Structure 1
Amino acid sequence: MMLTNLLTTAAGLPSAAARPVLASPRGSSIRIPLPVAERTLSPVEALLLAAFRWQTQQQTGCKSDEPGFAGMLEELREYQRGHSVQEQAAASGNIMEALSGPFPPVFKRFAAQPWAPSSLSYCTTLILGFLVGEMTLTEREAGDSRGGGVLVQKCAVLEHSGCSGLCVHMCKLPTERMFAEKWGMPLRMQPNFETCECQLSFGVSPPPLKQDTTLPTGCIGSCPLAQSHPLPQAAAAPLAVSNLEVFLNRDR
């Protein structure tokens, strides 16, 4: 009965996070504090992480000797360094599609049902903790009291990588695209680069990338690439272009 109520009404759910408002549109003004330590995973989460890493290695050809979550980030960074943003998004989409198994076409038949967004948000909190950390079910989005929202309290990938490109091109954009195309469910992801929160809103279509004012331009200040190869302000990369690509091609 409790699950049925959860999937049909948002009564009692916390409000969704408000749309992030950046103090400055330039990513260089944002600095994410270094995390103290990796989160301890449960046995089930460790198994899910191992499956995710194996699929990542198959799709990218990158393999790190570093164990656990840190090794996964190394593999993603290695692939990110040598590939275009289109290739990054494609690889990420292939990873998610492979791990989704037969579920997307089955769910797609029911995607128009009123309970569908809430069911996906509920499953997300059960499955995705190994990758992003603690989550809370919320209303669908700010101003919409229906169910279907998930607040990632502090995204582990963003916090540990300090990289907006990894967040946007290998998580946000391919995930939104996959759910729309494969699951038949629009999804809006709103990462907050200043707090590392991320509001997921199932059943809500995202705006075009160029119109999304919640995303900074260029590398964020705590990005390892920005720190090792700082770019002049005039050459700050637009979000749709890899900052690494700009650095490598700056003299061409």
Structure 2
Amino acid sequence: MDAKLSVVVQHHCHLSPLCHPPHKHRSDHSPSPCVVAVLSRSPDKSVELSGTMASRTVYKDNWFDRAAINHLSQRLQETTGLRSRKSGYDGLVEAAGVAYRKFNSSQQQDLIIQTLEKAFPRPILSAIRALLPQSKFAREFFAVFTTIFFAWLVGPCEVRESEFDGTKEKNVVHIKKCRFLEGTNCVGMCTNLCKMSSQEFIKDSLGMPLNMVPNFDDMSCDMTFGQEPPLVINDPAFVQPCYKICKENKKNHKNCTSQ
């Protein structure tokens, strides 16, 4: 498939963080004109998932999972002022979907960061940051902690090795099939409501760089603690075409970086 670099002027950009780079506590959330360098694909700008959506993963949430899901969903609804009619993980996905359609990319990332600050109190995070300054132990600790306590959010995951400063460390969380991405079927919701916001929140609150690399073909994702993410303009996640299967958010797809 041929690909070429093109420049597009977008006056109401809802997806590209190139227009609204992550920055907390913005006073002006109104969309503004911007010039975006994008990778255009021909002739089709959407991708068909090869079998990944044929069978939807069924989760059997325990009491802890349900409590954590409802807690995050309620904090998101409080922050956005939007209400979901559903409960459980479906309610979280619905609330995220409404926020995605209602707000631009800059607002989306700000709102998710505010939601995470409500869900995880700052004093606790500050204490963790003081106890765990950046080190091999801290990076590996965060990786193990994520696999144990956040599987309810992202699905089954495991710790993997990577090379850090010339040595091997177990600082990577491999998410086998992201629950949030599968639930939303939306590249834009993954990048704005999860990847960008999580990277900024964890770096700011815990002092730990994080690079999230989603694989939109099989819905897996690698979270590498201690690794700085690339600039958005160099990040492969932002030249990914939209899924054909995504219908609910189709209106927003005209503003994807892949368009």
Counterpart among 140, 143, 147 of residue 125 in structure 1? 147
Whether contact under 8 Å (1:141, 1:149) holds in the other structure is: no
The DSSP-based 3-state class of the residue aligned with 1:139 is strand
Residue 174 and residue 90 in structure 1: after superposition, are their counterparts in 2 closer, same or farther (change >3 A)? same
In the alignment, which of 203, 207, 210 is matched to residue 180 of structure 1?
A: 203
- Aligned-residue offset at 1:126: 1.6
Q: Which moved more, 1:210-219 or 1:186-195?
A: 210-219
Equivalence for 1:146:
169
2:136 and 2:169 in contact (8 A); partners too: no
| TM-score, length basis structure 1 | 0.76
CA distance in 1, matches of 2:70, 2:236: 35
If asked which structure has higher relative contact order (CA below 8 Å, sep 6+), I would say 1
Alpha-carbon spacing, 1:115–1:132, altered in 2? closer, same or farther (3 Å): same
Q: Does the CA contact (< 8 Å) of 1:137 and 1:151 recur in 2? A: yes
CA contact (8 A) 2:101 2:252 kept: no
Determine the structure 2 residue equivalent to 1:221: 244
1:44-97, Cα deviation, whole Å (9 max, x unpaired): 111111111111111111212212111211111111111011110011111112
User: Which structure 2 segments of 5+ residues have no match?
Assistant: 1-40
Contact 2:174/2:221 (<8 A) preserved: yes
Q: Residues 207 and 27 from structure 1, CA distance in 2 versus in 1: closer, same or farther, beyond 3 angstroms?
A: farther
- Which residue matches 1:206? 229
User: In the alignment, residue 44 of structure 1 is paired with which amino acid?
Assistant: F
Distance 1:192 1:42, change over 3 A: same
CA contact (8 A) 1:55 1:95 kept: yes
Gaps (5+ residues) in structure 1? Answer: 1-23, 244-252
Contact preservation (8 Å) 2:109, 2:192:
yes
Question: 1:134 is matched with which residue?
Answer: 156
Of 172, 185, 188, 1:162 maps to 185
How many aligned residue pairs are there? 213
Amino acid at match of 1:114: K
In the alignment, the residues of structure 1 paired with residue 252 and residue 101 of structure 2 have an alpha-carbon distance, to the nearest angstrom, of 15
Contact 2:144 2:159 (8 Å CA) reproduced: yes
Q: How far does residue 178 in structure 1 lie from its aligned partner after superposition?
A: 1.0
Confirm or deny: 8 A CA contact 1:111 1:184 kept in the other structure.
yes
Alignment match, 1:19: none
Equivalent of 1:82 in 73, 98, 102: 102
Q: 1: distance between equivalents of 2:140 and 2:127?
A: 16
> Which residue of 121, 124, 139 corresponds with 1:103?
124
Q: Which amino acid aligns with 1:156?
A: R
Equivalent residue letter for 1:216: V
CA distance in 2, matches of 1:168, 1:230: 13
Of residues 45, 52, 59 in structure 2, which corresponds to 1:39? Answer: 59
Residue 46 of structure 2: aligned partner? 28
Q: State the alpha-carbon separation in 1 of the partners of residues 79 and 111 from structure 2.
A: 6
Deviations 1:150-186 (A, max 9, x none): 1111001101211011100010001111111111000
* Greater displacement, 211-220 / 106-115: 211-220
Root mean square deviation, CA, Å: 2.5
Deviations 1:181-212, CA, capped at 9 Å, x for gaps: 11100000001001010101001111111101
In structure 2, give the amino acid aligned to 1:237.
Answer: C
The answer to whether the Cα contact below 8 Å between 1:35 and 1:159 also exists between their aligned partners in 2 is no
The 4+ residue runs of structure 1 with deviation greater than 3 A are 24-27, 140-144, 214-218, 228-231
**SS state of the match for residue 224, structure 1?**
coil
Q: Which has more helix, going by share of residues?
A: 1
TM-score under structure 2 length normalisation: 0.74
CA contact 1:163–1:224 (8 Å) conserved in 2: no
C-alpha distance in structure 1 between counterparts of 2:233 and 2:103, whole Å: 22
The structure whose residues are more often strand, as a share, is 2
One-letter code aligned to 1:162: N
